[in-house]
Structure 1
Amino acid sequence: MEKIAFVMTLKPGFEAEYKKRHDELWPDLAVELKNAGISDYSIYLHPQSLKLFAVLKRTDNHTMDNLPATAAVKKWWAFMADIMETNPDNSPVVESLEQVFHFE
């Protein structure tokens, strides 16, 4: 298993809506994430900067890079585009993070 982290940016005033939409995560999207080898996926909000810190685990043979081609992910991105900073294809603007410390 590999753990990765990244940040995204929420638009102002959508904190509660972002949480609500994720509390009601679509079952077909959850299946796509699991099938891609993703687990233990959490997103945290830093309220002052509106940065969303995401961390997840993925299997060594994950297919996460194929998720953007799936109908469920495309639909989810379109659904979320009004409340997040996005790219022209509605994918969230993502900044990868480098791990600088780990303690178990």
Structure 2
Amino acid sequence: MQHTGVHMTWSMAVTEGCAMERVCFTFELYEGAEVEYKRRHDEIWPELVSAIQAAGLKNYSLFRRGTQVIGYVEAHPDAATAFAKVAESEFNGKWSEWFKDLIVNQASDRGDQLSFTEVWHLE
């Protein structure tokens, strides 16, 4: 089964009085791009890391199996706010452009992210 695009699940939580949204997403890499995808993340720009953290994204992880990448991040106070802040960063745009040759597609044909419903969570 071939998976393409980005599929996301967002789940709101309130932890210690702070609103937070859990986000899970997946997308496909082009065949043969796996090593380069890892190499580029090994050299992530400090300015981008700072922008991600300043936007309220925390506990951010990426996992890869073959060409499929799965990510998890906690967005404070919510995904829309945090991702909008990251999008304002000049480094995010440059980073995204740099990855166009590695990532098959990050959105549906309509340009939106496909979401899933979180079915279970344990703190």
**What TM-score does the superposition give when structure 1 sets the normalisation length?**
0.81
**Could you say which residue in structure 2 is the equivalent of 1:32?**
51
**Could you say which residue in structure 2 is the equivalent of 1:7?**
26
Give unmatched runs, 5+ long, in structure 2.
1-19, 108-112
Q: Which has the larger radius of gyration?
A: 2
Give unmatched runs, 5+ long, in structure 1.
87-91
Structure 1 residue 8, shift from structure 2 partner:
1.4
Q: How far apart in 2 are the matches of 1:98 and 1:17?
A: 31
Q: How far apart in 2 are the matches of 1:11 and 1:22?
A: 16
Deviations 1:40-79 (A, max 9, x none): 10011121xx221110011116432232232101100111
CA RMSD of aligned residues (A): 1.7
- In the alignment of these two chains, the number of paired residues is 97
Structure 1 residue 35, shift from structure 2 partner:
0.6
Q: Percent of counterpart pairs with the same letter?
A: 28
Q: How far apart in 2 are the matches of 1:15 and 1:85?
A: 12
Report the structure, 1 or 2, having the larger strand content.
2
**What TM-score does the superposition give when structure 2 sets the normalisation length?**
0.70
1:85 partner SS: strand
**Could you say which residue in structure 1 is the equivalent of 2:38?**
19
4+ long deviations beyond 6 Å: none
Q: Structure 2 vs 1, CA of residues 54 and 15 (structure 1 numbering), >3 Å: closer, same or farther? A: same
Letter in 2 for 1:69: E
